[in-house]
Amino acid sequence: MRKGLIVLLAVFSVVAFALPAMADVSFFGYARVMPTYYNNFDFDDSHADVATLNEGGYTYGEHIRGELRLGWKAGGDKWKIMMTAESDIIFNKNNVDRSFYSTPGINPAGTSAAKVGGTNSSPNAGAEFGIERAEFSYAFSPALELFTGWPISAVDIGTGGLLYGDDHPIFGFRGKVTDNFKYQLVYISIQNTPSISLSESSVKGDWRAYFLKPEFSLGTGSAKGTLSPILLFSDNRAASAKVYYYGLEGIGQFGFIKPSFEVIAADGEFRNTGRDIQAYAAFAGVELGLSKAFNPYIAGRYTSGDDDATDNDVEGFNGITDIARFTPLMGMDGNILGEHLSSGGYYNAPLYSYAPEGSVGGNGYGGISNLGSGNNPGSMILAVGAKGSISEQFSYKAQLFGIWFDQTKNLPVGAGKTITEVDDYAGTSFDLLLKYAFDKNFSVTYIGSVFLPGDGIQDQQPAGADDTFASVNTVQFVWTY
């Protein structure tokens, strides 16, 4: 009895001493359910589509995607933690209550076609519930804060998203040195997976990047802005490439006029090959904050293309991750240009990117999942659009893009065509977003988006192709808490 009492008192003592150190933990999250229809991502109505990749896995045609998140956070005067668990799935029986990798019964006997959930299927990508994002920080002082984890990190997501924005694992420091100066110094671990039971270099197949981004605040009141030099080094051992990126980003506000821009230069080489990397990218835009209901914008976006895949000058721009889909002016989470158009092949833009960085192939030194090509044709996009809130519940965004290839000499002419070079006009896209918030915890959004192919896409198709527009239609039902 006495021993039991002593043990109980010891437990109470430990709890009592621990209580002052405990922090309140708050929970948050959302459920986003999206009935969606993809159509003609290959711009050809004469045959069935090929499955394309989105955050939930491979899919095509009619499908329902669910993005389900549960997060929790805690913190004190100097420290903070945040973690968000997620399951991102395409609705079908094999995803919602289990995680498949091979289920032979789904493919009919004797078939060899790759199917989601079948013998030859790819994994369901995001269905396994795990930590999607995490961030841990400690502020030694306002000028020196340690942060790590795998949160959203970026160098240019506030402008054109040309170079880097993603939730890769990071380790870094940031701080506010003065009222007008702050900085980020970050190490990004993109690929760092060893081969098992092999004796090889510890950096083989790795991809690391490092960036420094100071930010200077200028002006006050109704005329103010920020200027941010960008220095990023990509040590891409998996591609045998080392690349320095030099850039400048600016965001301003002069009354109701809101300009923004960025310029990026890539300078590097492929190790021990004699091939040099010289590529460029730029963005500029102006938004006019005329009223709550109507805010028009005009913007342009450029990535350089390569004009000769056989020489030693690699001029097609690859960033680390082109994150155009989530940028403030031209971005839209669900429009066609931000989907994985690589499944069509004629405007080979991977998921989130607006640039055809996967086209042609070869000499890759970056891009999402390291799938970019330094031989890609590059692009120029001119955009006009508007957004606003008609009421407390109803908001909208509409935008029109004209899209050109920068260089076309590496693009193949379609079989049966008599032309000698592909035209530079890739096409026109139009996006419409309509959102109605029923209350602070539930909203419904419709996105309709089309990409009408120009001669630059039609010239790559075979002579018998029934060219047509590609489209996405989706309704997003969102519960937040």
Instruction: Kindly state whether residue 45 falls inside one of the protein's structural domains.
Output: yes
Share of residues in the chain with pLDDT > 90 (%): 79
Let me know if 331 is exposed, middle or buried by CB neighbors in 10 A (0-12, 13-18, 19+). buried
- 125 band by pLDDT with thresholds 50, 70 and 90: low
CB 147 within 8 A of CB 183: no
Predicted confidence (pLDDT) per residue in 331-357, tens digit: 999 999 999 987 778 999 999 999 999
Q: Is the pLDDT of residue 319 over 80?
A: yes
Q: Give the pairing of strands 181-191 and 165-166.
A: unpaired
Output the pLDDT for position 12.
44
Tell me which residue has tokens 């690349």.
243
Instruction: For residues 425 and 367, give the distance between their C-alpha atoms in angstroms, rounded to a whole number.
Output: 23
In sequence order, the 6+-apart residues with CB closer than 8 A to the CB of 72 are 25, 26, 27, 28, 82, 83
In a domain, 405, yes or no: yes
Q: Judge contact between 55 and 127, C-beta under 8 A.
A: no
CB 165 within 8 A of CB 155: yes
Residues 242, 366: Cα–Cα separation, whole Å: 10
- What is the spatial distance between Cα 296 and Cα 246, in angstroms, rounded to a whole number? 30
Note whether residue 99 is domain-resident: yes
- 441-455 pLDDT, tens digit each: 999 999 999 999 999
Residue-averaged pLDDT of the chain: 90
User: 383 vs 130, which has greater pLDDT?
Assistant: 383
The pLDDT score that the predictor gives to residue 7 is 45
Mean pLDDT across the stretch 444-468? 95
> What integer pLDDT is reported at residue 23 of this predicted model?
75
Given a cut of 80, is residue 201 above it in pLDDT?
Answer: yes
- Section 313-318 average pLDDT: 98
User: What is the mean predicted confidence (pLDDT) over 302-312?
Assistant: 97
Tell me the C-alpha distance between 320 and 372, whole Å: 9
Tell me how many domains the chain contains.
1
H or E element at residue 424: none
Distances (CA, A) of 21 to 15, 25, 42, 462: 10, 13, 58, 68
Place of tokens 């009141």: 221
CA 171, 172, 177: angle at the middle one, nearest 5?
165
Q: Is the dihedral of CA 336, 338, 339, 344 positive or negative?
A: positive
Residue type, 402: G
278 domain-assigned: yes
385 inside domain: yes
Report yes or no on 6 lying in a domain: no
pLDDT tens digits along 252-271:
999 999 999 999 999 999 99
pLDDT at 8 over 90: no
Confidence of residue 202 (pLDDT cuts 50, 70, 90): confident
Is 194 a domain residue? yes
Length of the chain (residues): 481
More confident residue, 56 or 162: 162
Residue 474 belongs to a domain with what CATH number? 2.40.160.100
Mean pLDDT of 150-154: 97
| In contact, 302 and 309? CB cutoff 8 Å | no
> What are the angstrom distances between the C-alpha of 96 and each of 65, 92, 99, 187, 478?
11, 6, 8, 36, 18
Query: Over 90: is that where the pLDDT of 213 sits?
Result: yes
Domain containing 85: what range? 23-480
d(CA 343, CA 269): 29
d(CA 332, CA 352): 10
Residue at 13 is within a domain: no
Which one is predicted more confidently, 397 or 15? 397
Residue 359 has pLDDT above 90, yes or no: yes
Specify the 3-state DSSP secondary structure of 343: helix
* 439 Cβ contact partners less than 8 Å away, ≥ 6 residues apart: none
Give the DSSP H/E element, type plus range, for residue 96.
Answer: helix 93-96
Q: Where are the beta strands (DSSP E) in 274-340?
A: 276-288, 295-303, 313-314
Average pLDDT over residues 203-213: 96
Look at the block and give the residue holding tokens 């003065």.
178
